[in-house]
Structure 1
Amino acid sequence: MIFVIFIAAALVVIFAAIQLNKYGDVISQKSTWSGAMVGTLLIGGATSLPELTTSLTAVYIDNADIAVGNMLGSNVFNVLILMVFDFIYRKQKVFDTVDRSTHVPIAYTGLVMTALLAVALLWQSAPGLFNVGIEMYLLVIIYIIVMRQTGGAEDEAEEPTSSLSLNQAIARFIIAALFVFIAGSALAIYGDLIAKETGMSSSFVGSFLIAASTSLPELVTVLAAFRIMNYSLALGSIFGSNLFNLQLLVITDAFYREGAILNAASASNVTVAFLGIAMIALSIFAMQRKSAKHVGVYAIPSALTIVLYFASTYLMF
């Protein structure tokens, strides 16, 4: 029965995520927001809802490893999703076509934030304030500064292609987000139950199995965005979701009353943090390098990211 509910929840999440992308694209066309900012704030936030529920549930059962590993692992898996699609669509040279002025700063922000978490995890006794790690306050400050600086970024104007009004698109976007929250929560909870039956460690379960499960919305969102050739929306949804996940980790820490949550998490989560840093660095390199003439050369960062992820997963398992 657990497996049936898990699969059913996954199907609902996939359908709802497709709708998120569909109505998010309408909002980007009919509002003053750019596709990058719609992806970063709207879709990135909505598709992060399953991660929030999973981590708060982990806090409730006093499992800091699942709470932290879920957020870090989801961010790693999100970057993997982006690089896999970049490799599949390598002939389109996606990273050469997007607005770097918006996406590069956001990617760098994710890199810096992940590095801060890695330091705190290594420290194991980082200072806190009101039972929340000091690094969490830094995450919030950095996030606010970067969002203010990138909020005015513009993409090239698109002609509206939908008969829906802006208000209708917003309302349907909210409904789809609610479905993602409900079904994604069930997906995470029952994924955790399945994982416990295998006897794997909490950090591995949180970082890879549950993280991959709760990243299904991002997977479908990026797929849909690539199919309509809205690459800016795809990148924005991934990098934005990653930043949003780290803000959700701040909320998770606030609910964890035993002290700073990173002090309670095991050191094995540092490996996932370093993996995230390396993968984000490769995505930044792919955006900032000079345009590659040959498709094979262009695809090297994506290929390295994919190999790095699966090699790390194998070694951790």
Structure 2
Amino acid sequence: MNFVIFTAAAIVVIFAAIQLNKYGDVISQKSTWSGAMVGTLLIGGATSLPELTTSLTAVYIDNADIAVGNMLGSNVFNVLILMIFDFIYRKRKVFNTVEQSTHLPVAYTGLVMTALISAALLWRDAPELFNVGIEMYLLVAIYIVVMKTSGNPEEEADEPTSPITLKQGVTRFIIAALVVFVAGSALAVYGDLIAKETGMNASFVGSFLIAASTSLPELVTVLAAFRIMNYSLAIGSILGSNLFNLQLLVITDIFYRKEAILNVADPSNITVALLGLVMIALTIFALQRTAVKRVGAYAIPSAVTIILYFAASYIMF
């Protein structure tokens, strides 16, 4: 029964998160404060709401492993999504077609942030300030610096105006957000029950089962981008979402008042963090290497990423 409710909650989260993205876009189009940065933050925050509500609920039920695993696992699953599409469309040599200077700074930032998380997990007793790990302060500082130095995103071409009014968009956005809150909370609660009932590692449940569920809205975004051959949008949305998720991990640590959350997380979370580190490194390699003519050689980074993900899943299970 727990699996049935968990699956139902996952389906609801996916549907509601897609609606959040849809109505967030309506708000950014029709509100007077809808500059590019505001729209990006609004929609980015909307698609990341499932991860936030799930992790905060996990904190409330005192399951640090699901809270941490969900955030780290979501980042890993996001990269997996990108690499699966890159492998499927390997003949198009996606990474060879995008502008490196646009994506490499964000990718390297994600690498550094993930390395900080990995180091804190390996340390096991990392310094903390006000019951928040010192690494979390560094994550925020790095994020602020990168956002300031990267400048505002370019304005996109005008899109067809939605027939939905601003008031309707706001109302539906709020309703979808409430649905995500309830369903995301159910994911954490029933994920915790599944871990206890089956004896599965809570880190595995958070890093793979829940993380996959909350990351499926990103799958829809990447699929849409590949369909219109906007590969830069696909890569940018994944790399940017991962940075945002790590900021949500900071919020999770703030709400976990006992002590720094990474100090109490199970050591098995290190596997997910290190996996994320390697997967980001492979993404950077794919971005900055010189153009590859042979399709088989081009597909090596994405193939290795996919294999690593499922190997790590097997090991943690």
TM-score by length of 1: 0.86
| Equivalent position of 1:315 in the other structure | 315
| Equivalent position of 2:76 in the other structure | 76
| Equivalent position of 1:187 in the other structure | 187
Structure 2's unaligned 5+ residue stretches are none
TM-score by length of 2: 0.86
Deviation of the 1:189 alpha carbon: 3.2
| Equivalent position of 1:48 in the other structure | 48
The superposition leaves residues 184-217 of structure 1 with CA deviations (integer Å, 9 ceiling, x where unpaired) of 3333433333343211122222222222222222
Amino acid at match of 1:10: A
Deviates more, 1:159-168 or 1:250-259: 159-168
Structure 1's unaligned 5+ residue stretches are none
| Equivalent position of 1:269 in the other structure | 269
Does residue 144 in structure 1 map to residue 147 in structure 2? no
- After superposition, the CA RMSD in angstroms is 2.8
| Equivalent position of 2:36 in the other structure | 33
| Equivalent position of 2:91 in the other structure | 91
SS at match of 1:229: coil
| Equivalent position of 2:16 in the other structure | 16
Distance, in Å, in 1 between the alignment partners of 2:42 and 2:182 is 17
| Equivalent position of 1:206 in the other structure | 206
Distance, in Å, in 2 between the alignment partners of 1:249 and 1:50 is 13
- Name the CA shift for 1:314/1:107 in 2 (closer, same or farther; >3 Å): same
Deviation of the 1:67 alpha carbon: 1.6
Deviation of the 1:150 alpha carbon: 2.0
CA contact (8 A) 2:47 2:218 kept: yes
Does residue 160 in structure 1 map to residue 159 in structure 2? yes
Deviation of the 1:238 alpha carbon: 1.5
* Number of matched pairs: 313
- Name the CA shift for 1:236/1:182 in 2 (closer, same or farther; >3 Å): farther
Runs of 4+ with >6 A deviation: 24-31
- Name the CA shift for 1:19/1:61 in 2 (closer, same or farther; >3 Å): closer
CA contact (8 A) 2:13 2:50 kept: no
CA contact (8 A) 2:26 2:162 kept: no
Distance, in Å, in 2 between the alignment partners of 1:42 and 1:292 is 37
Amino acid at match of 1:194: I
- Name the CA shift for 1:303/1:23 in 2 (closer, same or farther; >3 Å): farther
